[in-house]
């Protein structure tokens, strides 16, 4: 029986072009971009080039592009960052509104922010 995958909201197969572009970094050019050796420098250059391509496509600055390891990390970064930006702009207690069916990666950080009296929360 042929298997059918229906959870594309969770993960999807990698596009063949993306896979081809990434293959060298899984097998040959696998250096830690935070390292000073040539393997790391090569990986950092690849990340910088990717960030530049994304920024060009989105018509924004390269420093506005942040790569994350997961949607959970991205959601946490966006939520906490937005709250911090609002506070920095002078909003004493930002009001966050979310639906009850939000993903756990959205609900957990906003509930923590509410518990810590950082935000006013409406669900």
Over the chain (123 residues), the average pLDDT of each successive run of 10 is: 86 91 89 92 94 97 94 95 96 96 95 96 97
Evaluated on CA atoms 31, 33, 34, 37, the torsion sign reads: positive
Q: Please, how many CA atoms are within 13 Å of residue 7, restricted to the half-sphere of its CB? A: 3
The pLDDT value recorded for residue 104 is 93
The pLDDT value recorded for residue 10 is 76
Same domain, 59 and 76: no
Question: Where in the sequence is the domain holding 92, given as residue range(s)?
Answer: 71-122
Q: How many CB atoms lie within 10 A of CB 87?
A: 14
Same domain, 20 and 56: yes
The answer as to whether 77 is a domain residue is yes
Same domain, 98 and 113: yes
The pLDDT value recorded for residue 48 is 96
Per the structure, how many domains does the chain have? 2
Burial of 39 (0-12, 13-18, 19+ CB in 10 A): middle
Same domain, 87 and 45: no
- The answer to whether the beta carbons of residues 68 and 105 sit under 8 Å apart is no
- The last residue of one of the domains, among 64, 81, 98, is 64
- The answer to whether the beta carbons of residues 99 and 123 sit under 8 Å apart is yes
The pLDDT value recorded for residue 107 is 97
Instruction: Answer whether 0.85 is exceeded by the pTM.
Output: no
The answer as to whether 78 is a domain residue is yes
């Amino acid at each position: 029986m042929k298997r059918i995958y229906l959870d594309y909201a969770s993960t999807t197969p990698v596009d063949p072009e993306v896979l081809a572009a990434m293959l060298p970094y899984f097998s040959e050019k696998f250096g830690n971009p935070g390292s000073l050796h040539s393997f790391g420098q090569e990986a950092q250059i690849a990340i910088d080039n990717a960030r530049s391509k994304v920024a060009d496509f989105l018509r924004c600055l390269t420093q506005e592009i942040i790569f994350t390891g997961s949607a959970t990390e991205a959601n946490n970064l966006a939520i906490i960052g937005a709250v911090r930006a609002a506070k920095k702009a002078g909003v004493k207690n930002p009001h966050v509104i979310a639906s009850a069916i939000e993903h756990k990666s959205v609900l957990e950080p906003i509930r923590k922010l509410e518990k810590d009296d950082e935000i006013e929360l409406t669900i």
